[in-house]
Amino acid sequence: MGTEIYKTLLEDLNKGEEVALITKYNLETKKVEKNIYNLEELEGKNLEYVNKAKEKNLIANIKINDEESVLAEVFKREHRLIVFGAGHVGYHLCHFASKVGFNTIVVDDRPYFANKEKFGDDIQVICNTFENAFEILDIHEEDYVVIVTRGHKHDKFCLEKILSLDELNYIGMIGSKRRVKIMKEELIEEGYSKEKIENIYSPIGLNIGAVTPEEIAISILAEIISVKRIGKLAVKNEPIKVSNSCELNKDVLEALAKSQNEKMSLVTVISTKGSTPRKAGSKMIVYDSGKIIGTIGGGCAEAKIIKDAALMSGSKNLKIETIDMTGEIAEEEGMVCGGKMTVLIEAI
């Protein structure tokens, strides 16, 4: 069960492609076969496994018979957060966002503010005019955009360019209620869609009384997460349905792609029921030393899987385990979630 296919998978994802990884496995013979499909090339074709994965939060484990199953995983583009403005709020927002899984890009025309020394390797920095940045960036409907430039002129320019595009996941702009009201009125007078303008999150951020740049950045990110997970802003005490679509475990994929014959096991959550610390699609690498990359939720449940996976590393073995976090025994062991999680362990 080599890791070469994950190198291809990562290359495709880094090119912005959306792909499906189909893993056919046999628990009796321990045989595993993996194939990658480009979703764009599959458009209009009826590939049953991929369609089932799309229906079930981008992952589906389909049982063919008592021994054989197929694990279908759909990998979408990373959630991109594009921040126009590399000032104090933009700086902290970029760093916080990159920690919670956003592919973060910052744009500013001031070299003193927009540079790799300041933002580091995890954040893409575009030091250019805002006008040129729109030519560089291929902004698409799945993106999240925040406008926190240094002035009304740049804010309005960026907003006009964004309003001329298709609907995005999120558009937020900083500014006082008065300034925002004036700008929205100007844009409507200029002929921009009133509906699109009403969908702009501005003034930006959840109302938590934020004052410092760090606090303002947190309030903005909390608002973005709310929109990402439940499609709207959360209201206290209101029941919500959270999107459980699996996240891209890029650190795990990168480790698999770079693997040089290390003894390891790949753990994938293939299904969950009830409340669980991680949802289907979460991945973790366990080396024979017990070192891990990624997580399936931590705690006692993860500790047991780590032990089993470490023992399997390098053996070419394959097994499925179910972690039961219900009942008194689970409660005594500190498994507070109360659901069930099924994992596939592949020794590599």
Q: What is the pLDDT of residues 74-93, one digit of tens each?
A: 998 888 999 999 999 999 99
pTM of the complete model: 0.79
Please identify which residue in the block is written with the tokens 């069960």: 1
Q: What is the DSSP letter of 312?
A: H
Q: Helices marked H in 15-138 — which ranges?
A: 48-55, 88-99, 116-119, 130-136
* DSSP H or E run through 194: helix 194-198
At residue 103, does pLDDT exceed 60? Answer: yes
Q: Cβ atoms within 10 A of the Cβ of 101, count? A: 16
Angle in degrees, 0-180, between the axes of helices 177-189 and 152-163, rounded to the nearest 10: 50
Average pLDDT of the chain is: 88
Walk me through the domains of the chain, giving residue ranges and CATH numbers: 4-75+248-347 (no CATH), 80-230 (3.40.50.720)
Strand pairing of 124-127 and 103-108?
parallel
Q: What is the pLDDT of residue 335?
A: 52
Angle in degrees, 0-180, between the axes of helices 4-14 and 250-258, rounded to the nearest 10: 130
* DSSP H or E run through 70: strand 68-75
- pLDDT tens profile 142-167: 899 999 999 888 999 999 999 999 88
Q: What is the pLDDT of residue 328?
A: 54
Phi, psi angles (nearest 5°) of residue 21: -110, 115
At residue 2, does pLDDT exceed 90? Answer: no
Q: What is the pLDDT of residue 300?
A: 79
